[in-house]
Structure 1
Amino acid sequence: MMRTRPRRLAQLLVLLTGTALAVAACGSDFADSDSGGGADDDDQNDAGQTDGAAQAEDDESSGDDGSSLTLMGFSSGPAEDEALNAIIDAYNEQSTNTARFNPVPEYDTALQAALAGGSPPDVIYVDSNRLPDLVEAGALAPADGRVRNEDDFYPSLREAFTYDGTFWCPPKDFSTLALVYNVDMFDDAGLEPPTDWEELATAAEALTDGDRTGLALVPEYPRWGSFMFQAGGAVTDDEVTEMTIDSDANREAFEFLRDLYAQGYAATPTELDAGWAGEAFGQGRAAMTIEGNWIVGALNNDFPDVNWAVTELPAGPAGPGTFAFTVCYAVPAASENPDAAWNLVDYLVSDEALLQFTEQFPVMPGRESLAGAWTEAHPDLGAFLTGAEYARPFQFVPGFAGVVDTLDDGIQGIAAGNREIDEVIQQVDESGRAALGG
């Protein structure tokens, strides 16, 4: 088992604060397992004891040993909590272990406290963008063959949870970005869903009318980055060892988006008096938006009368591009009972559990073999799943968060029309080089 390095752990866990995730520390308690055999005669009794001891040894080695386990994570809402608790109830019915889900507020702050305190929960959520920090801190135990059929996970998701050549944890589920559009507005304008940048610009212009904009788009890297990919650009190389922000491809993506905002064909949620892009879209203040699977529940619950559909993000000069957003089920290195913890994780990412969870909640299972079953259950959301074929994980390296902050600040300025593209690129490039030591 990997041993934690307390000083290094305490230093690096500081990087977790200030993010969008939330947690509260919680402990685990464990029960000893009793196993034995009995019979009426000595021969049968000896055989029974032998079989019982063998069964106990098998149970212990598999992690099904009567432990009490806690899965700590964050909650995206009652619907997801209910769906996940149903999976855990099913696990408890077929296992001698007993697990419970503990969704907590202020996840990153509490996770920091739990890991630094040395008594973490048995299983935790880890965002793909935070994985490198936690690995460098010695806070996680590697999956190391603990999960069945690792090769069945989408390559982009395996990559998201692989660091230094080691696969650390399996994806809980994932979402991609896609274009969500108002069907009635498109029909009234005689438009088809856009498939490339030119068609997107044309649709955005045609659908902008009075208080309604064509496209509601948050000016931030998790949205603009998809356009960078579509243009053939990126912030860094694939290994995150060299900065590649200073490229004609990235300039082309930034110029395309800048022009949409400048012409009034795209707007931020704030400009549309909305808390987020999904709200602006649901209120009819925008005909299109770019969001992930999480928009589905919000639209169905808050705007049930809106006739909407989803399609892949329009392709750019270099082809399609989108992000994969995902968290994994990870086991802390300081786990008191790693075998039982991995037993729970293995069940949570089994075919049966993933299908049950994602059929109830419109995120997508991370296993490629389940694509057909998920699409059958969600026939109108297939564009999200298609994006998995070319999606890129949202992940850099420890110490890079400040570079992304610099990029986001620059993107906001470009969208507002008060920052020059070359100025932003130069500033991000310099910040990134310093972070990468080059």
Structure 2
Amino acid sequence: MRGKTLPLAVCGLTVSLLLTGCSSGFDEDSGKEQQKSGKQELKVLIATSGNAETDAVKKAAAGWEKSSGNTATVDIAQNIDQQLGQAFAGNNPPDVFYVSTDQFGTYAKAGSLYPYGDKIKQADAFSPALTSAFTYQDKLYCAPKDQSTLGLAVNTDLWKKAGLTETDYPKTWAELESVAKKLTKDGVVGVSFNADYSQIGTFFKQAGGWLTNADQTKMTATAKSNVEALTYVKKLLKEGVLKFPKQLDAGWGGEAFGKGKAALTIEGNWLAGAMAKDFPKTPYKIVPLPEGPGGKGTMAFTNCWGISAKSKHHDAAVDLINELTSDSNQLTFARTIGVMPSKQTLIDQYKEQNPKSQAWADGSAYAQLPVNATGMRQVMAEFNTSLEQLASSDPAKLLGDLQKNGESVLGGSGR
């Protein structure tokens, strides 16, 4: 998750359809004959957020090469979903690759992934919420790479100009609405965030609800708490104190915030890198998201390090991933890329090293992962499209449509 929705279509087909059409081959063959000796040459495919991430992964891989005597060639994907889908279909996938939460179920169900969870070093150190995202049929398939959560970014200059102080940082929905009204003036809107359930989902959690039950076998979209949350967001839109980025000629909430078009935004810790690179003169502070009637709520985002079931280098690939997810590399990635460690045991150390990111780090203790049940990706994409029209729509109907569409999938999801 980097503030923008991932592309869904692959050559006219979704990746899930592409893999479903080829799934029987994966189910029948769990992998090629394994290479147990000699120098092994691994191919690694990543979807990078920029040069910092590319350089960090390549440096970590080079360190593993030196210690292991093997090689790991890191390639950068232009569209990792498309490239993986084509590679799986062509029976020539990379050995190691990034796997997103919303694609994990599709790959696992198709038999495309090698389940190496029992070979992960310090498996108990990883956040249970993150490992649950990569567990299929009670098997942990892959190690979470890192994590990000959402917080409330405050433009401190605009905050002061509105006569607000640190004691005014909103702790409730009512306070958020109040300060957003005070900040909406002189061509600046109080708050802007993406018309995406990945951001709006924070309000569902703060209201005490969520879109599915805990194991994602049943839709709960029409729960009273979810309707209350979406009605609150619609109220902010109708009052004009909330505008989606497109209304501000911005591609995402961070851009609207960085350009000073919005005084507040709800964004993840990737915002820090974007602000440093693109908007270094915009002063800001990250504070916890306000609580709703149901308490605290934020969202978490992660990828995992997947290994192809067809790879002939399973042991070497696991060894590489154990190195990539070592404590030292996790903290290095956090420092150079802007992500947080996926190991909960490293969060306190991360906060000491990154005091400005404390609100993001604290949110990892209670964050909600996006819906990632098999087959739900398109359903959630359609829900996002409907959210763009929230100001003129009935929240109960939008959630009712999501409920209906989700039920048609979860009934046969197998998760």
**Matched-pair contact (CA < 8 Å) for 1:13–1:137:** no
In structure 2, which of residues 315, 326, 340 is the aligned counterpart of residue 339 of structure 1?
315
Partner residue in 1 for 2:30: none
Distance 2:96 2:125 in 1: 22
Given the alignment of the two structures, is residue 420 of structure 1 paired with residue 406 of structure 2, yes or no?
no
Render the CA deviation track for 1:284-308: whole Å, top value 9, x for unaligned. Answer: 1100001111111111111111111
Render the CA deviation track for 1:378-422: whole Å, top value 9, x for unaligned. Answer: 1111111111100121233222223213322332221xx221122
Distance 1:84 1:138 in 2: 26
Given the alignment of the two structures, is residue 305 of structure 1 paired with residue 278 of structure 2, yes or no?
no
Q: What is the CA RMSD across the aligned residues, in angstroms?
A: 2.1
What amino acid maps onto 2:282 in structure 1? V
Partner residue in 1 for 2:261: 285
Aligned-residue sequence identity (percent) comes to 35
What amino acid maps onto 1:293 in structure 2? N
**Matched-pair contact (CA < 8 Å) for 1:16–1:130:** no
**Matched-pair contact (CA < 8 Å) for 2:104–2:372:** no
**Matched-pair contact (CA < 8 Å) for 2:18–2:85:** no
Which of 279-288 and 190-199 deviates more?
Answer: 190-199
**Matched-pair contact (CA < 8 Å) for 2:46–2:74:** yes
Partner residue in 2 for 1:147: 120
Render the CA deviation track for 1:169-200: whole Å, top value 9, x for unaligned. Answer: 01111111111111122223224321221111
**Residue 87 of structure 1: SS of its match in structure 2?**
helix
Given the alignment of the two structures, is residue 177 of structure 1 paired with residue 150 of structure 2, yes or no?
yes
**Matched-pair contact (CA < 8 Å) for 1:16–1:108:** no
**Residue 105 of structure 1: SS of its match in structure 2?**
coil
Give 1:395-414 correspondences, 5 Å limit.
395-414=371-390
Instruction: Give the drift of 1:114.
Output: 1.0
Partner residue in 1 for 2:7: none
Distance 1:413 1:148 in 2: 46
Which of 175-184 and 425-434 deviates more?
Answer: 425-434
**Matched-pair contact (CA < 8 Å) for 1:31–1:66:** no
Given the alignment of the two structures, is residue 351 of structure 1 paired with residue 324 of structure 2, yes or no?
no
In structure 1, which of residues 256, 261, 266 is the aligned counterpart of residue 232 of structure 2?
256
Instruction: Give the drift of 1:236.
Output: 1.2
Given the alignment of the two structures, is residue 319 of structure 1 paired with residue 319 of structure 2, yes or no?
no
Instruction: Give the drift of 1:201.
Output: 0.8
**Matched-pair contact (CA < 8 Å) for 1:251–1:421:** yes
Instruction: Give the drift of 1:15.
Output: 5.9
Instruction: Give the drift of 1:11.
Output: 9.7
Partner residue in 1 for 2:27: none
User: Which structure exhibits the higher relative contact order, with contacts defined as CA atoms closer than 8 Å and separated by 6 or more residues?
Assistant: 2
In structure 2, which of residues 137, 141, 144 is the aligned counterpart of residue 168 of structure 1?
141
Distance 1:395 1:418 in 2: 25
In structure 2, which of residues 70, 77, 93 is the aligned counterpart of residue 104 of structure 1?
77
In structure 2, which of residues 121, 146, 159 is the aligned counterpart of residue 186 of structure 1?
159
Partner residue in 2 for 1:269: 245
Instruction: Give the drift of 1:12.
Output: 6.7
Render the CA deviation track for 1:345-387: whole Å, top value 9, x for unaligned. Answer: 1111111211122122210111112112211221111111111
With over 3 angstroms needed to count, the CA separation of the structure-2 counterparts of 1:31 and 1:242, relative to structure 1, is closer
**Matched-pair contact (CA < 8 Å) for 1:324–1:392:** yes
Runs of 4+ in structure 1 off by over 3 angstroms are 10-13
Render the CA deviation track for 1:109-131: whole Å, top value 9, x for unaligned. Answer: 11011112222111011001111
What amino acid maps onto 1:413 in structure 2? Q
Render the CA deviation track for 1:232-280: whole Å, top value 9, x for unaligned. Answer: 1111111212111112101110111001011010001111121221111
**Matched-pair contact (CA < 8 Å) for 1:177–1:384:** yes
Distance 1:125 1:160 in 2: 14
**Residue 263 of structure 2: SS of its match in structure 1?**
strand
With over 3 angstroms needed to count, the CA separation of the structure-2 counterparts of 1:235 and 1:16, relative to structure 1, is farther
Render the CA deviation track for 1:216-239: whole Å, top value 9, x for unaligned. Answer: 111111111111011011111112
Distance 2:214 2:366 in 1: 14
Partner residue in 2 for 1:224: 200
**Residue 402 of structure 1: SS of its match in structure 2?**
helix
Q: TM-score, normalised by structure 1?
A: 0.84
In structure 2, which of residues 323, 327, 344 is the aligned counterpart of residue 368 of structure 1?
344
In structure 2, which of residues 13, 17, 34 is the aligned counterpart of residue 14 of structure 1?
17
**Residue 389 of structure 2: SS of its match in structure 1?**
helix
Instruction: Give the drift of 1:424.
Output: 1.4
Distance 1:402 1:303 in 2: 33
**Residue 99 of structure 1: SS of its match in structure 2?**
strand
In structure 2, which of residues 98, 115, 119 is the aligned counterpart of residue 125 of structure 1?
98
Which of 399-408 and 81-90 deviates more?
Answer: 399-408
Which of 327-336 and 116-125 deviates more?
Answer: 116-125
Distance 2:14 2:239 in 1: 46
In structure 1, which of residues 220, 225, 233 is the aligned counterpart of residue 209 of structure 2?
233
Distance 1:413 1:292 in 2: 24
Render the CA deviation track for 1:294-340: whole Å, top value 9, x for unaligned. Answer: 11111111111111110121111111111111111011111111111
**Matched-pair contact (CA < 8 Å) for 1:31–1:67:** no
Partner residue in 2 for 1:56: none
Q: Which has the larger radius of gyration?
A: 1
Aligned residues: 385
**Residue 389 of structure 1: SS of its match in structure 2?**
coil
What amino acid maps onto 2:326 in structure 1? S
**Residue 201 of structure 1: SS of its match in structure 2?**
helix
Instruction: Give the drift of 1:13.
Output: 4.0
Partner residue in 1 for 2:409: 435
Partner residue in 1 for 2:176: 200
Instruction: Give the drift of 1:159.
Output: 1.0
Distance 1:219 1:122 in 2: 36
Distance 1:392 1:369 in 2: 19
What amino acid maps onto 2:153 in structure 1? V
**Matched-pair contact (CA < 8 Å) for 2:216–2:371:** no
Instruction: Give the drift of 1:16.
Output: 7.5
**Residue 403 of structure 2: SS of its match in structure 1?**
helix
